[in-house]
Structure 1
């Protein structure tokens, strides 16, 4: 005979297999064990790449059946399940397989979890420098770092901050990350308009020689203003340009000064007196003065002008002067007209006329003794 249990475990129907089994007497004991189904669930908290993985946990394992776990990528088919715990970043599925026990059927359940990408530890470079006027693209960054806006100017002198992005080599397991990097911007040399040749006169000092006055800075002599410009000719001195902007540093330039000869400062020539019949060579002149024609007679009694030349001791730095006289009208042998001598500066064939001596520089001729 066979025994079949219906959906209710306490009700059993016994059906004889043959007709002979339908008759007779006896005692029949039947023991039935019906296994219950389980409805388990599995949970697993994800972790970050490089970290310690978490262990799955199961609930609903009423019979405490042995549990094994299998893993696969979430998008893979079921044939990809493996007992190997994944370590790479990604989305996965874990399956818990619960073994059958004496009282409970086997069961299985799944859940999804994620191994998140890690963010690499920031290793922002330090000591980044650039000169004023440069762009971020001119600054080399370590491998993996790029400027977010490489065409951006580094800005004014000082410490300036700019955004950069780090892209790891292992993009499958690491995230990009942003960092603000500090750039120390340094000043550059100024480029002012060059100073041209300047002029001065022998005896001047640098304070007497004016430098240009640009709007973007100031020029000044490197040496003290009391420094002499030196001898006649071309002399060179250093001038310093100090920019008004802190983005530039001061620069020096060699400036040429064309030093001209100075006018001489001869001793004053007072009225010279000589007796009639004498020559100019008999008339003593102050130091530096010489008669142009010393053998010439001093002429008639009266005030008579004659040409003389003053030659300074330092002819390299001072001009030579010559005194010339216009025609003198003599009214009588005792009196001549007053004459204002005209002095001319003679140098290298160039003549500059100038009148500045008083009209008493002529020779007064007195009558000769009888």
Structure 2
């Protein structure tokens, strides 16, 4: 597991202290799955948990993504992290995901053998900001471009910069950091290939909520109409003969792909021309209860031409991240469907 050795040792120490040193605990690395760790607690019968180590657990989106990933695996799981803030810890508790962090917060519930719920412990000082550019908007644009086009990992830097919509210096710094963290690995003919695509998706999901979405947010509005389909029909007619670009994301995009979700809001990415055109719509700013969220289309790779749908859609990765942003039960169920149908095949091709 990448650069998580000190974190794992610290969390293991906190877990032993919470469980009690009379109860044996051991970690093993499965020979057929070196990216994973198995945790065994010596209850009767023994408790076997799959360990997911993550340095930062900072957004609800990331927690929901982690829950979906762990629920898809066989057996029970435990998350190791530097610090798991209370709102994220509550998501894990509701989902039955056990955790321990370096601050001493611990949750295990396996009655009658082990029941531990230590909460409220915080770092003595704020955790340092993450170094580098990966979690910044420019870095996340590059990550989005690479994740949505798995064969692009070996592209020349100038091509990556141009298509991701960032400067050449930013692309160079981001690719170098991806290589240093082993997200990208050397390949034949001086090219690059992906290391851990699943981990890179988690990075993007966390960064989308933390940095990229806030940077793209143009506003949340209350439309005169209430039915999302009627709102989008009006948008489609108004934007039909325009030279600009726009695409639906989130729940309404997922409805087009899965025919499962019936959302009550509209989320879309627009460029400047599309935004100027939409100002003629009956929209009032409503940051608290608006039913239309408009985001700046940060580059043309936001759009996908691979989906057969009557509306222009963003990439499945952005649809997935926006569904986790919504965070409702049906949103999460649909996000799981999007991941399984559209993101997992991409991971398989990118290996």
Q: Give the structure with the higher percent strand.
A: 1
* TM bucket normalised to smaller: under 0.3
Greater RCO (Cα-Cα under 8 Å, separation 6 or more): 2
Give the TM-score taking structure 2 as reference length. Answer: 0.18
Q: Give the structure with the higher percent helix.
A: 2
Larger Rg: 1
